[in-house]
Structure formats: structure tokens, C-alpha cells
Chains A and B, each alone.
Chain A
Amino acid sequence: MELFRITHDAWGQETLAGASWDLLPWFVGAAAAFIVLHASWLLVRRLGKGGSR
């Protein structure tokens, strides 16, 4: 996976063009993972409370 986008200038030299868009699914995935973990934690906590009654 690339971390940066690289382009070439008029003289053929490599220049930085930005962050790689390969990272986009990782950011979206991190948000999705956070949501799943948070929802799971709430569910487990709720079930735990229900079971202790």
C-alpha cells in the first residue's frame, strides 16, 4: 500500500502530490470498527446488567 501520491514535474523529478487514496478505506474502516466496537460494548454491558438482575 502506498502512503503518498507521487508525480513528476516538467523536468522529470519526483514531487509529492498528496496522501495516497489507498488510505481512504482505512479511515472509513477505522470509523466503522469504532462503531462496531462501541455498539458491541454497549450490548455486552446491557446484557450483563440484565443477567445480574
Chain B
Amino acid sequence: MNRGTPVSPDDFGRVIRHRWPDRLYHWVMAITVLTLLGTAFLPIIGVKFAWVEAHWIAGVVSIGLVLMHIVRVSIWLDIWSMMIGPRDVCDTWSAARWALGLRTDPPPLPGKYPLLQKFYHAAIVLTVVALLVTGAMMMVRIDTPFWVRNPYWLSAETWGIVYVVHDLAAMMVLALVIVHIYFGLRPEKLWITRSMILGWITRADYAAHHDPARWKLDTGERG
């Protein structure tokens, strides 16, 4: 289901794509994820420093941000606009055939979020949730201002599984972040990157990249 949130053009005819709380969430999340990746992997490649405290603090901030994001999209935004539905599966088939030159007509325009953005979001959600859940479990094993460590909460075998999931998810997040930055810097995607910095896209971008029926423009209100 892709209802699309009605958006209002501002005085300059720009279409609001990301409001300030969502942009703030994205960039604070970016800082915390890069902190988590840096404190996780720099010691592994030989850059030795006291990483544990910065790592768990960034992890706690990430968990808080994700919970806030879930509340925001559930109440104030259209959570369905990012969900992958049956229509997206058909559009993926059309897009794949078009990309391979098996179809001349371009695939249908998306709603607010392009197909690849939806697939990326689904992948990063699954990975980050696995990472944060296992990371939160592992925090039981370290002393913090809030509790004393308890390494015997789970059996050694179970802890082993938790570590494996956390490590694999961390390496997956690293790969996904690399791909995300690549797409963010690609010239033809800069209009999306700009919208994550300034919040808006142009009317021309809206017309070129979005189906107005799937992401409705509400001209009766101010943005």
C-alpha cells in the first residue's frame, strides 16, 4: 500500500521531502553509526584506543534514535510510504527488465520513495535491529553508570551466537553504509541528498521522479 503523504509546496514552489526532525534524525544517526563503526573496526585494523565507552554510548544513542524514529513515522508520517508492497514487486520486475534492455518503456514512477531506497531501507532496518538488539544484550557484560556487569546472564553458547550475529550485522552495516554514501554522492542522486540537507526538492524533480498519484502534492496548504 502506497498512500503517500500529501506534501505542500513552499513559496518558491519547492516540494518538502524531509522535514527538519527527520533530517536531524538522519544526520545524528549518521554520526552515531560512523562512531559505532569507527570504534568497532579501527581497533581491529590496528588503531588501538579505549573504544568500549564511546561504543556503548553511541549504541545507546542509536537505540534511542531508532525508538524516536519509529514513534515519529508511526504517528506523524506515513509509515506505508516506505513499505514494500505487491505493487513494488511488479515495479521491480518492470525495472529489472528495463535495466536489462528487455523493455523499452521506463518502469512506473514511484511514490515518495524510489524502489531502491525502499529495498535499502528494509536491508538497513533488519541489519540495524539485529545489531542494536544484540548490542543491548552485550551491554549487560560491561560496567556502566547504570548497572554492574553480569557476564553470566546467558550461557557461553548463547553468548557466542549473540556475538556472531552482532559481528555479522556490524560488517553488513559497514557494507551498506559504503553503498549508501556512494549513492548519496552520485550526480544523478544529488537532488535526493540535497533534500536530506535542505529538506526540499524542486517541482521539476517531483515531476521527473515521482508519480503524483502515489505521492500527492497538497497545493491548498503551506509547507
A residues with CB within 8 A of B: 4-5, 9, 15-19, 21, 23-24, 27-28, 30-32, 34-35, 38, 41
Contact = CB atoms under 8 A, between A and B. Distances in A.
Contacts of B126: none
Q: Which of B41, B175, B176 counts the most A-chain CB atoms under 10 A from its CB?
A: B175
A18 B171 contact: no
Given A31-B174, A31-B176, A38-B182, 4 more contacts: A21-B44, A23-B171, A28-B175, A28-B178
Nearest to A18: B163
Can you list the 7 inter-chain pairs with the closest CB atoms, starting with the nearest?
A: A16-B160, A19-B167, A18-B163, A31-B178, A31-B175, A27-B171, A27-B175
B interface majority secondary structure: helix
A interface majority secondary structure: helix
Contacts of A24: 41, 44, 171, 174
10 contacts: A16-B163, A16-B164, A18-B163, A21-B44, A21-B167, A24-B171, A27-B174, A31-B179, A35-B182, A38-B182
